[in-house]
Amino acid sequence: MSGRLDGRVALITGSGGDIARATALRLAAEGARIVGTDIDAGLAEATARAVHEAGGEAETIALDLSEEAGAQRFADFAIERFGRIDALVNNAKAARGGSGESTSPEDWRFTIDRNLTMPWLVTRAALPALRESRGSVVFIASVSGASFGTGYPGNTANLVAYSTAKAGVLRLSVALANELGPDGIRVNTISPGVVETAATLRTYGAPGTARRELATRPSLLPQRIGSPKDIANGVLFLVSDDASWITGSDLRIDGGWFASGGAGPASAADTATLQVQVLER
């Protein structure tokens, strides 16, 4: 059976993370050869192993992509192994929390570096190969980069540097889409809502806890938190030919979080109250 990405080479940064692993498996199932990297060698190897076990092809290298040399090495490694780059998925991140006041300058720089500068460095290094393949780039941003809702702990008090960096990623993506469109390179973002990953577990705690409940409640589809596969499906779409006329776009995959303004679904009681207020005016 032929796959939608047969003959293509897809690079995934932070390949040891849960969203990256689901993406590697999804793209490989459609025929892509995967090149993954992570600062954590063990996690990156686990992803490559999962792809192999599923019958796909994957190469992996452990790198710190926040260094220019690491970003360049990643692109060079892909060319050495497979000779081309068709898709780049900028997924890696590391973040330190804090409010606008409590974040230390060191934590601010760390977080902006790992969420905004790092994906720019990797993209820059991959551009010559992407130009040859007329390939595409997907940045994994976040709903917290675009929303000013108050219902999401990460967006208000806790993760100001992270949200600010993700806002920068949205802008960077549009700038690159403009710059690279004439070369046939498409550039898009995906903005996930709260997705079930190891990072989410660390940040918001286990299902049933109050912090976790607060983080997931704003979804308009209340039955479940997002799954890494939900994000992987979006990446597959954006790097495939099905999206060949899509560039400079943001695909929100958030269970309707953004649409609710981060406030969550209105209850029947809320709706009834609002109707009464409208009638009274």
Closest approach of Cβ 96 to ligand NAD, in Å? 12
As a whole number of angstroms, the distance between CA 77 and CA 64 comes to 14
Contact call for residue 14 and ligand NAD (CB under 6 A): yes
Catalytically annotated residue among 74, 139, 162, 258: 162
Closest approach of Cβ 101 to ligand NAD, in Å? 23
Beta carbon nearer to ligand NAD, 163 or 247: 163
**Size, binding site for ligand NAD by CB under 6 A:** 27
| Binders of ligand NAD in range 46-85 (CB under 6 A) | 63-66
Question: Is 162 tagged catalytic?
Answer: yes
Figure out which of the listed residues 34, 140, 146, 177 binds ligand NAD, where binding follows CB under 6 A. Answer: 140
Figure out which of the listed residues 23, 60, 91, 189 binds ligand NAD, where binding follows CB under 6 A. Answer: 91
Figure out which of the listed residues 11, 17, 137, 258 binds ligand NAD, where binding follows CB under 6 A. Answer: 17
- Active site residues per annotation: 162
**Residues found near ligand NAD in the complex (CB under 6 A):** 14, 16-19, 38-40, 43, 63-66, 91-94, 114, 140, 142, 192, 194-195, 197-200
